[in-house]
Structure 1
């Protein structure tokens, strides 16, 4: 299913866009606060080995998997016993 960006997203001068931004701003503050609290409560974990994280906020199609595979290939070529871990689609 392809979701299109709403037309009002790019319109800066419309009353609808201004009203939508104004109404969503408190929700954004709430979301940021909940996220900050969740991150602050997280207990640090020492995995006992070096960790390389490949990722960002992009959902898909940005090339993370090929980059991770190439990093693994290069590490293994230098003699490092490297393993990959994926949360998987929708993880």
Structure 2
């Protein structure tokens, strides 16, 4: 599994680095309801929302499985307690 992570992660990191180097030009974003704008490098304007979306998706996926993980932990503790009392009897 670790090898698969390296095989996919390393080329992806190289692609992100090449993208960042190729898109260093400044982009001006007007934040419409606000009276000012922001100047960002082009790569940051693309990669920052991508990173925020990935982090948000990870957190939502983790949170959606939280109830099942808590229930599994509770059932495991009950099973361990039942096995312990069974072995004592």
TM-score by length of 1: 0.34
Q: Which has the higher strand share?
A: 2
Higher relative contact order (CA 8 A, sep 6+): 2
Greater helix fraction, Structure 1 or Structure 2: 2
Larger Rg: 2
